[in-house]
C-alpha cells in the first residue's frame, strides 16, 4: 500500500475498485461505471477520464515479502473462515520476478521451504504491473481481498464459493444491502467474468470505507520488508 502524507480525506469522493481478469483488469467506480484495460495504469486512467479518483483498491498482492509468509495473508485466512483457500500465500519478490515457474519454485523453496503454485506464478505479470505502478501515483492505493471485504460487509464469512450460482447470488445480495447495484450494461467491462465484476464492486466499497476513515488494515501496521517496496496490508 502507498499512502501519501495528505491522504486523509474527510468527504466522500469518487473511488475505484479493481480486479484482475483473464484479459487484464476490470474496474468499477463508486458511481457504478465499469472499465477494462490491459494494464493497471490504463484502467485507472480510463476511470479518471470520467472524473478524479481519490482512492484505488486492488485485489492483488501489494508489498512482496523477501522471505517467509506475509502476516496480511495469515490474518485474511482467519477472517474468511471456510473460504480460507481463496487466500493464496504471496510469493517472495525474487520468485515473482523469476523468468519461469521452475525457477520461481526453486527460489521459493530456498526462501520459505515451500514452492509456488502455477496459479500464483501466473499472476506474476499483474503483481509486477501493480508493484511498479503504485510507486508512481499520488493517491492512496490499497490492497484488498474480496472475500475479506465481503465477510466484513456481511459480518461473517461467506457460505458459498464465488464460482457457484449460490455464491454469486450471495455476493449480489450483500452488495445490494450496501446500496451497490451493478448496472446490467457495463459496456466493454461487461465482458469480464461475473465474479470479477462483483469483486471489483466490493473493492470499491472498501476504497470508500478508507476514504471515510472506516476501513481496517490487516495487520494494523503494514509490514515493511526493508527492500524499498510498498508495505503490505489487506484492507477491508
Q: Which pLDDT score, from 0 to 100, does residue 227 have?
A: 87
Q: Omega of the bond prior to 86 within 30 degrees of 0, cis?
A: no
Q: Which of 15, 99, 25 is nearest to 60 (CA)?
A: 25
Mean pLDDT of each 10-residue bin along the chain, 236 residues long? 35 87 97 98 98 98 92 95 89 94 93 88 95 96 97 96 96 97 96 97 98 97 92 97
Alpha helices (runs of H) in 113-226, residue ranges in sequence order: 118-122, 124-133, 146-154, 165-177, 194-211
Question: Rounded CA gap, 78 and 58, in Å?
Answer: 20
Spatial neighbors of 25 by CB under 8 A, at least 6 apart, are: 18, 19, 36, 37, 38, 39, 40, 42, 43, 126
- 100-159 pLDDT, tens digit each: 999 999 998 998 888 888 888 999 999 999 999 999 999 999 999 999 999 999 999 999
Give the up-direction half-sphere exposure of residue 150: CA atoms within 13 A in the CB hemisphere: 29
Question: Rounded CA gap, 70 and 173, in Å?
Answer: 31
Residue 32 in grid coordinates? 457504478
Specify the pTM.
Answer: 0.91
Question: Rounded CA gap, 181 and 56, in Å?
Answer: 19
Q: Which pLDDT score, from 0 to 100, does residue 12 have?
A: 59
Amino acid at each position: 500500500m502507498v499512502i501519501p502524507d495528505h491522504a486523509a480525506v474527510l468527504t466522500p469522493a469518487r473511488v475505484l475498485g479493481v480486479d484482475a481478469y483473464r484479459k487484464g483488469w476490470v474496474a468499477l467506480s463508486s458511481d457504478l461505471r465499469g472499465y477494462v484495460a490491459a494494464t493497471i495504469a490504463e484502467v485507472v486512467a480510463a476511470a479518471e477520464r470520467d472524473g478524479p479518483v481519490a482512492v484505488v483498491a486492488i485485489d492483488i498482492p501489494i508489498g512482496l515479502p523477501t522471505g517467509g509468509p506475509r502476516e496480511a495473508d495469515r490474518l485474511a485466512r482467519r477472517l474468511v473462515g471456510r473460504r480460507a483457500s481463496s487466500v493464496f500465500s504471496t510469493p517472495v519478490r525474487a520468485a515473482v520476478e523469476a523468468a519461469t515457474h521452475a525457477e520461481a519454485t526453486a527460489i521459493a523453496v530456498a526462501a520459505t521451504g515451500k514452492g509456488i503454485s502455477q496459479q500464483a506464478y501466473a499472476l506474476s505479470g499483474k503483481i509486477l504491473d501493480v508493484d511498479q505502478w503504485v510507486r508512481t501515483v499520488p493517491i492512496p492505493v490499497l490492497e484488498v481481498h474480496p472475500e475479506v471485504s465481503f465477510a466484513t460487509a456481511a459480518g461473517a464469512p461467506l457460505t458459498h464459493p464465488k464460482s457457484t450460482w449460490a455464491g454469486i447470488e450471495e455476493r449480489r445480495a450483500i452488495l445490494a444491502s450496501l446500496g451497490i447495484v451493478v448496472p446490467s450494461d457495463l459496456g466493454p467491462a461487461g465482458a469480464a467474468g461475473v465474479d470479477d465484476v462483483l469483486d471489483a464492486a466490493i473493492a470499491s466499497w472498501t476504497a470508500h470505507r478508507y476514504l471515510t476513515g472506516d476501513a481496517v488494515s490487516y495487520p494494523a501496521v503494514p509490514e515493511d520488508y526493508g527492500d524499498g517496496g510498498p508495505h503490505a496490508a489487506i484492507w477491508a
